Chain A
Amino acid sequence: MNFNLKHKVFSILFIIILGSILFLFRHVYKEHQNIENLNPDYFGTYEDFKINQNNYWENKIIDIEGKLTEKTTNSIILNNQIFFLLDSNQNTNFLSIDEKIRIKGRVVGYDELLEELKVDKAIILNK
Chain B
Amino acid sequence: MSMFFLILKSYSQNKYLTKNGITEFKASVETFEPVEAVNNNTTVLFKSNTNEIAILLFLKSFHFEIALMEEHFNENYMDSDKFPKAKFSGKIINKKDKYFIKGNLNIKGISKEVITEIEFIKGNTIKIKGFFEVKPSDFNIKIPSIVRKKISEKIKINFNYELQSKT
Which residues on A are within 8 Å of B, measured CB to CB? 27-33, 55, 58-59, 72, 74-75, 83, 85, 108-109, 111-114, 118, 120
Contacts and interface: CB of A to CB of B under 8 A. Distances in A.
B19 interface: yes
B36 interface: no
Given A29-B68, A32-B67, A108-B58, A85 B45 contact: no
Contact of A55 (B40, B66, B68, B84): B84
Interface in B73-101: 81, 84-85
A58 B20 CA distance: 20
Interface string B37-62: 00011010100000000101010110
A111 B81 contact: no
B84 A108 contact: yes
A118 B59 CA distance: 12
Nearest to A120: B61
B67 A33 contact: yes
A113 B43 contact: yes
Contact of B19 (A29, A32, A83, A108): A83
Given A28-B68, A83-B41, 9 more contacts: A32-B67, A59-B81, A74-B20, A85-B61, A108-B58, A108-B60, A108-B61, A109-B60, A109-B84
Contact of A27 (B20, B40, B41, B68): B68
Contacts of A83: 19, 41
A28 B56 CA distance: 30
B17 interface: yes
A31 B67 contact: yes
Given A108-B60, A111-B56, A30 B41 contact: no
Interface string B96-139: 00000000000000000000000000000000000000000000
Contacts of B20: 72, 74-75, 85
25 contacts: A27-B68, A28-B66, A29-B66, A29-B68, A30-B68, A31-B67, A32-B67, A32-B70, A55-B84, A58-B84, A59-B60, A74-B20, A75-B20, A85-B40, A85-B41, A108-B61, A108-B84, A109-B60, A109-B85, A111-B43, A113-B43, A114-B17, A114-B45, A118-B41, A120-B60
